[in-house]
Amino acid sequence: MLLEADTLIYDNNDDSVTAAGGVRIDYGGHKLVANQVTYNRNSRRLVASGNVEVVNPDGTKIYSDTIDVTDDFGDGFVNALRVETVDETYFAAESGERRGGFLTTFNNGVYTACKPCEDRPDKAPPWRIKAKKIIWNSNAKTVRFEEPAFEFFGLPFRLPSSFEMADPTVKRKSGFLIPGLSFTSDLGVGVSVPYYFALSPTYDLTATVTGYTEQGFLGQAEWRQRFNNGEYSVTLAAINQLNPDKFDHNTVDSGPDGDPNELRAMMGTSGRFAINSRWDFGWDVMTQTDKNFSRTYDIGEYGNFVYRSEVFLTGLDDRNYFDLRGMHFDVQEKTLNSDPDSRDQEQPWVLPSFDYSFTPDESIFGGELNLDLNARVIVRDKLDVTYSETWPNVEDVNGIENSSSRLTAEAEWKRSFVSDGGLVMTPLLAFQADTTSVDYSPDSIAAINSMAANPDIGVMADIRNAYHRLLATAGLEFRFPLLFASPGSSHVIEPMAQVFARNDEPYAEKLGMPNEDAQSFVFDANSLFERDKFAGYDRVEGGTRANVGFRYSGSFGDGWTANGIVGQSYHLAGENSFASPDLANVGANSGLETDTSDFVGLIGFATPSGILASASARLDEETLELRRGELKAGYSTDVFAVSAKYSFIQAQELYGFDEDRRELSFGASTRVHEYWRVFGSGTYDFETNIMVKSSLGFAYDDDCFTYLMTYSQNRDRDDGDTTQTVGFNISFRTLGDFGSATSKISDL
């Protein structure tokens, strides 16, 4: 025992020792601080008084005016005590007793996970549990409350005559978790009761039973297992629906009797494993009895509208990258698989997708060499087409039926030279070769011929079993950054020009070759100086093209910053790939289909006060008519934030958008108190004059309690159908969560 004190008094008559004045005792990992401590040698007990603080070996702190314990600190009695655990949970009681070194009983005790207020330590916390007795078993890692009452912001709520929870220091322990609550018009009110099984340090199970007033009981189970190099999980869910007629018969697959399925179920699994420091293997896979079960019952991460099932293998080493994966996309929509408008069967199986990138560490002829390899095999059960509203022909073929495969190899070399005057010149050489094999179904061939006959497209069909392409590029880039500086600011203006000479894109002038990975395309300031502006490998940019523009960045002494870019692209020779339609009509109405492109620009600024703003636009090269534009603005401080975005996109008939699109999105959040905040957002469609989305909510959050309440509306642009959503969630630290993330009420 280590003892420090101002004075030691030995009483031979009582066989005791008293330490007084700044007493500090360290014994067996226990630390005690008090004004005075008396040790009785006969009873082997310590009696400490005056600002007593005891720190146990596990870090738990006990505060009291008086404490009476055995010399091994195993048993004792305390009056008017406070206990603070290492996890910042707190006990207080009129008196407490410790027995056996592990069982502590608090008489007329209080428990909370809220820190005391620094300014007002006597102020009641947001929540606390009061009980006639609180029994803390540090061996069993449990806390039992007898005759408890829950007090929330001063309001008392009755609880069961007794209940037990895990010790605050326990991270994993078997037992019931806090129930959940939900409501939907199809399912009714749902109450979820989860039970957690802590089976071992490396695996566990959560079983949940949810009772719905309209549909009966849903059973769920999630198994999780962890290893040194990764983890995996398996999720199961099933229900025998009591009232399947609540669902539209046209939206849920029917059973043998023609009614919507009574028995619905799913299974999902995911895993991630590190094979070594460079290689990772994993999967995300889901299967279900019908296409909308997981979304209807909101089964965790499997409830997304589009769920991607995949198995993958990835490798990363310095600047070298390997990715191999198989994928399938499940669209959880309210249409039958047999419905002609169903998108589920139009979604492809990707078996597999492969990417490999290699960049040597050593320079090649003083420059950087990059090698890329890409391959994909796509299988689709159903033809994905769009029919023209103005012509009785196919407008585009987004995906062919049956299968197609492609193998692409690409090499790029570039090197930068800087002249004495600051001119940066970067020559570039690139080669790309690929081969594509296609197994067309009769319906696919008919759709391609129908699309070719559309007078708005006006090209020939070229349907083959195999397509082979070779593209060679020689490029040169010039940049001349100019710095202008003054005592209060600095500006960099950088004129920039690129020239890429290439052979024409093979097969660009005829329809036939599938386009699966290059369907998303936007020409703006961000893509102005891209060598190949297509998003994927199925399309390649051919012909000779020049990109010209200016880039600007500036900083000011008072913390303001600004940036901008403006420019134009010119098709100089050969076939213009963006004027040559493919099966998805990519490039149509893009601003690049003419020899002189539209103007594109972007400008933005930021201030130290939290104001941000930017504007981007694409303007017609002749009339300067706005083709595409976006305005963004925002302001944020510690207590207030607001943002808004206005977007305009002119009609792109051949690209699938027959009307202009104008939309305003906005959001705001303000903290009205130290712990309270209010927020809202909305999206307004000017073309349909519909508030597509709107939401409002408020929240309370501090170190021990959070509360969230939201209300939102979503309206369909086509028929105006409205879905209202009410959500709330209450979270008590160490106790758990209660509520529902979303509660939908349909108003059709």
The 10s digit of each residue's pLDDT in 628-662 is: 999 999 999 988 999 999 999 998 877 767 788 89
Contact indicator for 698, 678 with CB cutoff of 8 Å: yes
Backbone angles phi, psi at 14, to 5 degrees: -90, -5
Give the H/E segment covering residue 127.
strand 127-137
Q: What is the model's pLDDT at position 318?
A: 85
In whole angstroms, give the CA distance from residue 190 to residue 222: 19
Contact indicator for 488, 545 with CB cutoff of 8 Å: no
Contact indicator for 231, 268 with CB cutoff of 8 Å: no
Tens of pLDDT, residues 197-256? 989 989 999 999 999 998 999 999 999 999 999 999 999 999 999 888 777 665 555 554
- Asked if the bond preceding 168 is cis, omega within 30° of 0, the reply is no
Q: 236: alpha, beta or left, given left = phi > 0 and alpha = psi -120 to 50? A: beta
Q: 587: alpha, beta or left, given left = phi > 0 and alpha = psi -120 to 50? A: left
Neighbours of 44 (CB within 10 A): 10
Nearest to 398 by CA among 580, 536, 535, 585: 585
Q: What is the model's pLDDT at position 747?
A: 36
Neighbours of 648 (CB within 10 A): 18
In whole angstroms, give the CA distance from residue 303 to residue 293: 8
Positive or negative, the Cα torsion across 435, 438, 444, 449? positive
CATH class label, 2-173? mainly beta
**One-letter amino acid for residue 550 of the chain:** F
DSSP per-residue letters across 399-460: E-SEEEEEEEEEEEEE--EE-TTS-EEEEEEEEEEEEEEEEE-HHHHHHHHHHHT-TTT--E
Separation in Å, CA 135 to CA 85, 111, 176, 654: 15, 11, 19, 73
**One-letter amino acid for residue 161 of the chain:** S
In whole angstroms, give the CA distance from residue 679 to residue 417: 52
Q: What is the model's pLDDT at position 338?
A: 60
In whole angstroms, give the CA distance from residue 252 to residue 274: 40
Residue in the structure block whose two tokens are 């209300």: 711
Tens of pLDDT, residues 455-510? 878 788 999 999 999 999 999 999 999 999 888 899 999 999 999 999 999 998 88
Positive or negative, the Cα torsion across 481, 483, 484, 488? positive
Q: Flag residues of the chain having pLDDT under 50.
A: 256, 258, 741-748
Separation in Å, CA 442 to CA 216, 402, 485: 46, 10, 67
Contact indicator for 687, 659 with CB cutoff of 8 Å: yes
In whole angstroms, give the CA distance from residue 438 to residue 513: 8
CB under 8 Å to 230, separation ≥6 — which residues?
Answer: 271, 272, 273, 274, 282
In whole angstroms, give the CA distance from residue 640 to residue 678: 10
Positive or negative, the Cα torsion across 117, 121, 125, 131? positive
Kind of pairing between the strands at 263-274 and 230-240: antiparallel
In whole angstroms, give the CA distance from residue 363 to residue 247: 64
In whole angstroms, give the CA distance from residue 339 to residue 606: 50
Residue in the structure block whose two tokens are 């006006």: 458
Nearest to 290 by CA among 312, 263, 324, 327: 263
Structural domain boundaries of the chain?
A: 2-173, 660-748
Angle at 308 between CA 302 and CA 312, to 5 degrees: 115
Identify any residues that bridge with 626 across adjacent strands, giving them in sequence order.
619
Model pTM score: 0.78
Q: 736: alpha, beta or left, given left = phi > 0 and alpha = psi -120 to 50? A: left
In whole angstroms, give the CA distance from residue 543 to residue 594: 13
Give the H/E segment covering residue 295.
helix 293-296
